[in-house]
Structure 1
Amino acid sequence: MSSRRTVAAGLIIVLGLLLAVPAAATYAGDKPLSTVFHDEFRGGYVYTVGNSTYSGALNPGDRYAVSFDLDLPEDATIRHQRLYVYWAWSKLDQQAIYPALSLVRTDTSEHLTETARYADSKGFVSKNDFFSGMDAFTTTDLARGKNSFTVILENNATDNRTFVVQGIGLLAVYESPGSPEAIAWVSEGADLIYSSYGITPAMASSRIDFPGTISRSGLASAELFLVAPSGGYTRENIPVINRLFFNREGTSSMPSFFETILAAIFPGSNGKEWVNVFDSDETKQVGIDRRDVLPYLRSDKNFAQVQDEKDYLVLSNAVLWAERR
C-alpha cells in the first residue's frame, strides 16, 4: 500500500472513531433527569407556573414577571422547594451561548440563588443550534396558608445575548401531620428530544428512573407528574406527536391478542402506554401532564419514559407521588 493510501485509510479510521463517540448534547434522550429528593412522610406537594406566558426575545436589560398565588395547609412545613426558569433560544448573534439572568422576589426583595443549570441542544453544527434549558433557584420557604408574590427575571448580560423564557415554575414539597402518608420522588434536568435530523423516535426517548423500593400494600393512589416546555403543542398535523410509557418494557414478541388476554388476567403487568400527553399552546408553552399510575406501580425499579414523535420538547421535571390510605 502506498503512503498516500495509508494516510487516507488512517483518516477514515480516525473519522469513524470520532463519529462513534457519543455527543455531549443531541436531539436524542442523552441527558436523563436526576433524582433530587426522595423520602416517605406525611405531606403533599404543589406545582404551578403562575401566570407564565411565552416572553419573546429578551434583550439585555429586559424584564419578565410571573405572579404566583397558592395555598398550603396550616400545619405545613417545607421539605423541598425550587423555582424553575424554563429558557430557550439562548444566543449571541447567531452563536449559541448560555443566558445571563437574575431573579428577584418582590415580596421579600430577595435575590434568588441559582442551585443548578441544565442545558441541551440539537448537538450538531447547523442553523439555529442554540441552547435550551432550565435553571433551578432556591427561595424563602412558602408560608402556611395563602402565598401571593411576584418574581421578576432580568436579562443582565453585559453583551448582546438574548434568550426567550417559556415560563417560571414553582415546586414545593411540604410535610403536614394532617395529610396522608406519602412516598415521593422528585427529579429535574433538561433533556431536549426531537425525532428529526436522523434521530428516530426510539433514540428521541428520555427515561426517568425512580430508585428504591415501595410497599404497594395499602396504597390509595399513585400519580406521575411531568413538565416539558414546548411539549404537547405543534403546528404540524401529526396524529401522534409523543408517547409516555410507565413501567413499559418495550414491544412484546407475542401476538397482540395474547397480550390482551394477559393484560386482562394480570392488569398492569407490563405497564402502560399513552399518546399525545402534555397540555400547552402557543402562549402557554410549559407542557404539563398528570397521570394515575397506581395500577402499573411496581415494588421497585419504577420508571417512566417520554418518547418524541415530531413534538420537540425539553423534558425538565418529574414527580412520582404515592399515598397510603
Structure 2
Amino acid sequence: MSSRNLLPSAAIIFFLIFTGTVSASYSGDEPLSPVFYDELNGGYVFSTGDSIYSGQMNPGNYYNASFDIAIPSDAEPVFSRLYVYWAWSNLEKAAIYPSISISATPAGTHEFTLAERYVDSKGFVSSYDFFSGTDSYEVTGIGAGENSFSVTAGNSAADNSTFVIEGMGLLVVYESPSSPLVQIWADEGCDMLYSDYGITPEMATATAVFNGTVDTGSVKSARIELVAPSGGYTRSDIPEKNVVLFNRDTDGSLPGFLESLISAIFPGYNGKEWIDCFDSDELRQVGIESRDVGPYLKGSNNIVRVRDRGDYMLFTNAILSIEKEEK
C-alpha cells in the first residue's frame, strides 16, 4: 500500500497483552480457501492485465483495467474468476465494507457475479484499522482463442465511504484436448501479514494447502504461482523482507548445520524456501511469484506458506499446476 498509518509500538503491544488472542490481525490467521481442483487435459492463465494502484476512490469514482488473454483454440473454460484487490475501506476513518460495482466493456460481453468476499484487518483498536479484502467474481463470456476486454469498478456507496484498489486479477482454468494432462489447484482469500507491533515473522505466516494426492513418479513439471498485493514493495530497502516456503518443515527441530548437510545430500527432503519474493512497485502493487516446485512435491497435501519479515502484504491467491508425463 502507498501509505501506512500505524500506532506506536508500545500502544499495540499493550493492547495485545491485555486482549489475549488475535483473530483478525497482521498474523497468518486467514488460511486461503480451496476453490478449484481437477485433473484434466488443459491448463490455466492468470493475469493482472494493466491494472494499477487506484489512489483513493470516492463515491462516483471509477477504475478501469484491461485484460488480453489467450487460451487454445479447442479450449473450454471450466473455472473463471475476476479478483478485485481492495484496501483502506473507511467512512470518516471508521472501518466499513466497500460498495463496488463491476461492469465490462464492450458492454454485455461478460457478466460478473460475486462469489465470495474475503476480508482481513489489523485487528487492534486504532484510527486506521480499516478493512482490506479480495472480491472474487464468477466470470462468463471467456471463449477459446483471444480474449480482450476491460473491467470497470466503481465506488457505488450512498455515503462518503472511500477505498483504494490495489489491482485486479483474472484466472481462467480451461480444458483442451490438445493440451497436456495436468493437475490444477486454486486457493483464494485474503490474509493480511505484517511482522511488527508484537507480531513475529513466525506469526505473520499465511498458509495455502493443496488437498489431494500426487503420483510423484509421473510428474513432468510443477509450478506454483502466488499473488500478494503490496508484496515485494517497500518504501525503504528492507533485506530479506519476505519468505516463501513450499513443503518446508518450519519447526526447526534439527540444528542448522545438520539441516544444511541433509539438504545437500537430499535436495528435496524438506521442501524449499525462497527469500525476497514477489515483484511489485508503487504503481503496479499486485506482487506475483512463480516457482518451479517439481523437486519438492509430496505425495499428498502439499502446502505453501508466505512469511512476512517487514514487507507488509495481503496473501490472496495460490495456484499449483502439475504436468504429468505422457504414458
Contact in 1 for aligned 2:16/2:198 (Cα 8 Å): no
Task: List runs of 5+ in structure 2 lacking aligned partners.
Answer: 1-14
Q: Between the two proteins, what is the percent identity of the paired residues? A: 51
Cα-to-partner distance string for 1:200-221 (whole Å, 9 max, x where unaligned):
1111001111111110112111
2:219 and 2:182 map into 1 onto residues whose CA distance is 9
Change (3 A) 1:216 1:147: same
Contact in 1 for aligned 2:93/2:128 (Cα 8 Å): yes
1:311 and 1:303 map into 2 onto residues whose CA distance is 22
1:190 and 1:148 map into 2 onto residues whose CA distance is 27
Q: CA deviation at 1:23?
A: 3.6
Q: CA deviation at 1:258?
A: 2.6
AA paired with 1:276? D
Partner of 1:143: 143
Q: Does 1:261 align with 2:235?
A: no
Q: CA deviation at 1:128?
A: 1.1
1:47 and 1:89 map into 2 onto residues whose CA distance is 25
1:163 and 1:47 map into 2 onto residues whose CA distance is 25
Partner of 2:101: 102
- After superposition, residues 312-323 of structure 1 pair within 5 angstroms as 312-323=312-323
Contact in 1 for aligned 2:94/2:127 (Cα 8 Å): no
1:189 and 1:215 map into 2 onto residues whose CA distance is 28
Partner of 1:276: 276
Partner of 1:128: 128
Partner of 2:67: 68
2:315 and 2:278 map into 1 onto residues whose CA distance is 11
Cα-to-partner distance string for 1:158-191 (whole Å, 9 max, x where unaligned):
0000000011110000011111110111000000
- After superposition, residues 200-215 of structure 1 pair within 5 angstroms as 200-215=200-215
Contact in 1 for aligned 2:16/2:22 (Cα 8 Å): no
Partner secondary structure for residue 65 of structure 1: strand
- After superposition, residues 227-242 of structure 1 pair within 5 angstroms as 227-242=227-242
Q: CA deviation at 1:257?
A: 3.4
1:291 and 1:141 map into 2 onto residues whose CA distance is 30
Change (3 A) 1:60 1:276: same
Partner secondary structure for residue 217 of structure 1: helix
CA RMSD in angstroms comes to: 1.7
Runs of 4+ in 1 over 6 A off after TM superposition: 15-18
AA paired with 1:76? A
1:62 and 1:252 map into 2 onto residues whose CA distance is 49
Relative to the length of structure 1, the TM-score reads 0.92
Relative to the length of structure 2, the TM-score reads 0.91
Task: List runs of 5+ in structure 1 lacking aligned partners.
Answer: 1-14
2:161 and 2:287 map into 1 onto residues whose CA distance is 26
Contact in 1 for aligned 2:89/2:161 (Cα 8 Å): yes
Q: CA deviation at 1:35?
A: 0.3
Number of residue-to-residue matches in the alignment: 310
